[in-house]
Chain A
Amino acid sequence: MIEKGAWVQIHKIVLHPHERAPQVPDDTKKVPLEMWVKGFLLDSGKIGDTVRIKTLTNRIEEGELVEVNPSYQHHFGHFVREILDIGQMVKTFLDGDDQNEAR
């Protein structure tokens, strides 16, 4: 059970596929318009429950509880060899082949 007052993220459907705007391309029209927002849990609940939260601007939002203490998972990416090669290439272009020799 996630206690009242916890910092959580909720998810809700804003528009179902049949409600989507006419100008939307076909692949997008097949899926709903979804929304995620974070806030303080107003009543205790568990993941998957429909809950209410109070957001940072003191608005009340209702939706499915998807995460408690949500954190950031994005990063600098996996190693990309090409980036290293660009650096070597431009240094060689500017200073000649011996610039990478151990000094």
Chain B
Amino acid sequence: MKQDKSYSAVMSRRNEIMKKSVGIDYESFEQEGIGFSYEKMMREASPYSLSEIQKIQLYNGVGHTPLKELKNITKMVRKLAPKGKGARIFIKDEALNDSGSFKARRAAVSCYHAKKKGYKGVMAATSGNYGAAVASQAAKYGLKCIIVQECFDSRGVGQPEIVEKARKCEALGAEVIQLSVGPELFYTFLKLLEETGYFNASLYTPFGISGIETLGYELVKQCENEVGRTPDVVVCTNAGGGNLTGTARGIKKATDKKVQIIGASVNLKGLHMASDYQFNRKSFTTGHTGFGIPFATYPDRSDVPRSAARPLRYMDRYVTVNQGEVFFMTETLAILEGIERGPAGNTSLAAAFSIAQELDDDQIIIVQETEYTGAGKHHGAQLSFARENGINIQFGNPRDEIPGENIIIPKNPSLIKVNDLDLTRVKKSCIKNHINNNPEVELTEQDILFLMEEINENKTFVLEILKELGR
């Protein structure tokens, strides 16, 4: 019998397709009520210990990236900071992983697992560095690989950053399916999973997150051994939440000391991520608030029933920076430190430049990633493309930037300032989403405990929000 391949039919088979393609029975982690056992899922669904993952990565060109002190950028910070302030800034140069970004850590575990379980190939839905990461790891294991990208608008104009990633995936042997703008990418993805029987190397499975734990673990050990101090602050670029979640979990495995975890996203307020017109009016295709906020406040919107990326469990502070500020720091990193890297990975660097000025000068702040750069994914390519698409680029105060209309490059370095998001509000929104998605459920003690863990807050905090919501 021929299977119905229509949109509604494929979407209705979503759960069974997913179950087969990731090999995880998510039902077994569900609890009565609204919650599920996150730690049980992390422990049992991805049965690899931190040391096993370190080995898997070491044998496959992933991890052990250098921690580099940004001495000149720190000097700049100290010229701007009050006396006694201005933390030392270090960067974890993740661009040096095979495939050019920290995403190699996530792909390493998924591809190892896929091979072990006998899958013939792997697939990922991604327009970002993750595609190259999966393609690279798949090549090592002789797995076939399909990457599905959202790439072009209806004029057929490709986002340069994404077009470059398509090239990189193809260079590493993957088949790339390119689509125009729209969330129905997921439909095409499901159809292909069903057709091929390949493993879904989703960014949001426990494999995808446990792979990043080595990054957090490494940076603490390196800082302690090479610099002689546990890092005080780690800044993570935040989009889908996996980077921050995995890094924070790894840090906790490396030290009992308190390390402040700060999420940083590029501010793209006002731009709709599924808009055909606005698609090419943004200069960042990841690391921005368009993913950062919705995924933090409702992680299970991802492509698996329960996302392993749950950043509010670990985030101490959430800041935004503007596109112009990130381009400024990308150029500064090249000119003052001699390190040319892609702009998206420097989101957390722009944030760290501002935050370091608040910290004491004996403290250490770590920017936990960089990404490779090249034609298309370079600040020159992005700014040039923005200008061609009618975006006004000028020097000024980055606070005046309006995403989709202009890019304001700071006219002097003192204007680079993070904008603090109200984390309490973000947490409230997360609880609200859990409640609204389960209107029928009578909340029990177990549900309240789950919500406390979801947002890393005490019972009084959660009960008060529930009261406000009339529950």
Closest residue of A by beta carbon distance from B195: A59
Q: Which candidate, B59-67, B72-80, B235-243, is the interface stretch facing chain A? A: B72-80
Judge whether A1 is part of the interface by a CB distance below 8 angstroms.
Answer: no
Chain B nearest Cβ from A88, distance in angstroms: 9
- The one of B152, B170, B183, B379 in contact with A23, judged by C-beta atoms closer than 8 angstroms, is B183
How extensive is the interface on chain A, given as a class? 35 or more
- Determine whether B144 belongs to the interface, using a CB cutoff of 8 Å to chain A: yes
Could you tell me the distance between the alpha carbons of A90 and B72 in the complex, rounded to whole angstroms? 10
Q: Does B182 contact A (CB under 8 A)?
A: yes
CB distance B331 to A74 under 8 Å?
A: no
In the bound complex, CA of A32 to CA of B180 (Å): 8
**Residue A75 lies at the interface, judged by CB distance under 8 Å to chain B:** yes
A20-B184, A21-B7, A24-B274 known; A57 and B331 CB under 8 Å? no
Would A31 and B412 count as touching, CB distance under 8 A? no
- A76-B375 in contact (CB<8A): yes
Query: Is B274 touching A57 in the complex (CB atoms < 8 A)?
Result: no
| Per-position binary interface string of chain A over residues 41-84, scored 1 when its CB falls under 8 Å from any chain B CB and 0 otherwise | 00000000000000111010000000000001011111110110
What's the least CB distance linking A89 to chain B, in Å? 7
Task: Give the chain B neighbours of A37 by CB distance below 8 A.
Answer: 175-178
Interchain nearest-CB distance for A44 vs B (Å): 22
Cβ of A98 within 8 Å of any chain B Cβ, yes or no, is no
Instruction: Give the shortest distance, in Å, between B332 (CB) and chain A (any CB).
Output: 5
A51–B27 alpha-carbon span in the complex (Å): 43
Q: How many residues of B contact A (CB 8 A)?
A: 64
Query: Which of the residues A24, A56, A93 comes within 8 Å of B173, measured between beta carbons?
Result: A56
B184 touches which of A15, A59, A82, A86 (Cβ 8 Å) = A15
> Is B446 among interface residues, defined by CB-CB distance under 8 A?
no
Check B274 against A35 for contact (C-beta < 8 Å): no
* A36, B152: Cβ atoms closer than 8 Å: yes
Tell me if A86 and B188 are in contact (CB < 8 A).
no
The 0/1 profile, CB within 8 Å of A marked 1, for residues 88-126 of chain B is 000000000000000000000000000000000100000
Specify which of B331, B378, B381 lies most central, judged by the most chain A CB atoms within 10 Å of its CB.
B331
B413 — which chain A residues lie within 8 A by C-beta?
A: 89-90, 93
User: Contact: A28 with B276, CB < 8 Å?
Assistant: yes
A19 proximal to B (CB < 8 A)? yes
**Chain B residues with Cβ under 8 A from A33's Cβ?**
179-180, 182, 184, 188
Across the two chains, which residue of chain A brings its CB closest to B162?
A74
- Asked if B376 lies at the interface with its beta carbon under 8 angstroms from chain A, I say yes
For B160, what are the chain A residues with a Cβ–Cβ distance below 8 Å?
74, 77
Q: Is A75 in contact with B182, judged by CB distance below 8 angstroms?
A: no
Which residue among A14, A38, A59, A78 has the maximum number of chain B CB atoms within 10 Å of its CB? A14
Q: Is the CB of B84 closer than 8 A to any CB of chain A?
A: no
A101 at the interface (CB under 8 A from B): no
Q: Flag if B336 contacts A56 (CB, 8 Å).
A: no
B385 interface hit (Cβ, 8 Å) = yes
A77 and B384 contacting across the interface, CB-CB below 8 Å: yes
User: CA–CA, A33 to B187, complex, Å?
Assistant: 11
- B residues within 8 A CB of A77? 160, 378, 380-385
Report the minimal beta-carbon distance from B291 to chain A, rounded to whole angstroms: 16
| A2 to B175 Cα, complex, angstroms | 22
**Within the assembled complex, what's the spacing in Å between the Cα atoms of A30 and B182?**
12
Contact with A along B1-39 (1 / 0, CB 8 A): 000000100000000000000000000000000000000
Q: Which residue of A lies closest to B388 (CB)?
A: A78
Given A36-B178, A86-B328, is A91 in contact with B335 using a C-beta cutoff of 8 Å? Answer: yes
Specify which of B152, B380, B412 is in contact with A80 (CB 8 Å cutoff).
B380
Separation of A89 and B328 alpha carbons in the complex (Å): 10
Instruction: Give Cα distance in the complex from A86 to B183, angstroms.
Output: 37
Q: Of all chain A residues, which has the CB nearest B381? A: A77
Give every chain A residue within 8 A of B332 (Cβ-Cβ).
86-87, 90
A94 at the interface (CB under 8 A from B): yes
- Specify the chain A residue showing the minimal Cβ separation from B331: A86
Q: Are A25 and B183 in contact (CB under 8 A)?
A: no
A35 touches B177 (CB 8 A): yes
Q: Collect the chain A residues with CB atoms within 8 Å of residue B229's CB.
A: none
Give every chain B residue within 8 A of A20 (Cβ-Cβ): 182, 184
What are the 5 closest A-B residue pairs judged by CB atoms, nearest first? A77-B384, A31-B154, A77-B381, A56-B175, A74-B376
Task: Given contact pairs A14-B187, A23-B183, A57-B196, enumerate 15 new A-B contacts (beta carbons under 8 Å).
Answer: A14-B188, A28-B182, A33-B179, A37-B178, A38-B176, A59-B196, A72-B375, A74-B167, A74-B375, A76-B375, A77-B383, A78-B388, A82-B394, A85-B395, A86-B409
* B residues with CB within 8 A of A: 7, 72, 75-76, 79, 121, 144-146, 151-152, 154, 158, 160, 163-164, 167, 170, 173-184, 187-188, 195-196, 272, 274-277, 327-328, 331-332, 334-336, 375-376, 378-385, 387-388, 393-395, 409, 412-413
On A, residues with C-beta under 8 Å from B are: 14-15, 19-21, 23-25, 27-28, 30-39, 55-57, 59, 72, 74-80, 82-83, 85-87, 89-91, 93-94
Query: What are 20 A-B contacts defined by CB distance under 8 Å?
Result: A28-B181, A28-B276, A31-B180, A34-B180, A35-B180, A36-B177, A37-B176, A37-B177, A39-B175, A56-B144, A57-B196, A75-B375, A77-B160, A77-B378, A80-B383, A80-B384, A80-B387, A86-B327, A86-B335, A94-B76
